[in-house]
């Protein structure tokens, strides 16, 4: 996937949708946070961050541009992801803010690549979507 297209898979909260199990699955594949709502689970359509006033008015692309960054909603989401999946959305956003989306996408490609086959490791399951290798 090209970097430009993959950059669209980075959600406003800093989630890399390309490593999400909903995006990686074959059936009922989610198009990513910034994609159309068709086929998405209701919880993703009602996402409080995606539906935040700042994003609805088109004022921002990422949470770090908000005066309330990081807000309570993002902090709770970040804590859950740090605890369950060892990934921080706030750290992702800080990286994007500091080094840019292009560098972030390049880094993510390396970070989530299976050492076995180069496929994508799922943040939620911990397994490569291609070869099935467990993430260490």
DSSP 8-state class, residue 26: S
User: Is the bond preceding residue 102 a cis peptide, omega within 30 degrees?
Assistant: no
Mean pLDDT of the chain: 87
Q: Answer whether 0.95 is exceeded by the pTM.
A: no
Question: Average pLDDT for residues 39-47, to the nearest whole number?
Answer: 77
Considering only residues 33 and 72, tell me which one the structure prediction assigns the higher pLDDT: 72
Q: pLDDT tens, 119-130?
A: 999 999 999 989
Q: pLDDT tens, 56-101?
A: 777 678 999 988 999 999 999 999 999 999 999 999 999 999 999 9
Q: Distance of CA 133 to CAs 91, 95, 105, 116, Å?
A: 26, 27, 22, 7
Task: At 113, give phi and psi (nearest 5°).
Answer: -80, 135
Q: Which helix (H) or strand (E) holds 93?
A: helix 89-99
pLDDT at 4: 45
Q: Is the pLDDT of residue 2 over 70?
A: no
């Amino acid at each position: 996937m090209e970097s430009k297209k993959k950059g669209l898979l980075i959600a406003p909260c800093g989630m890399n949708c390309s490593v999400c199990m909903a995006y990686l699955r074959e059936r009922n594949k989610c198009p990513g946070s910034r994609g159309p709502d068709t086929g998405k689970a209701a919880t993703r359509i009602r996402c409080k961050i995606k539906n935040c006033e700042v994003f609805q008015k088109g004022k921002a692309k990422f949470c770090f541009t908000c005066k309330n960054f990081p807000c309570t909603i993002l902090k709770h989401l970040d804590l859950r992801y740090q605890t369950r999946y060892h990934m921080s959305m706030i750290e992702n956003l800080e990286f994007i803010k500091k080094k840019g989306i292009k560098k972030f996408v390049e880094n993510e490609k390396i970070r989530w690549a299976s050492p076995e086959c180069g496929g994508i490791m799922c943040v939620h399951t911990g397994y490569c979507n291609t070869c099935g290798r467990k993430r260490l």
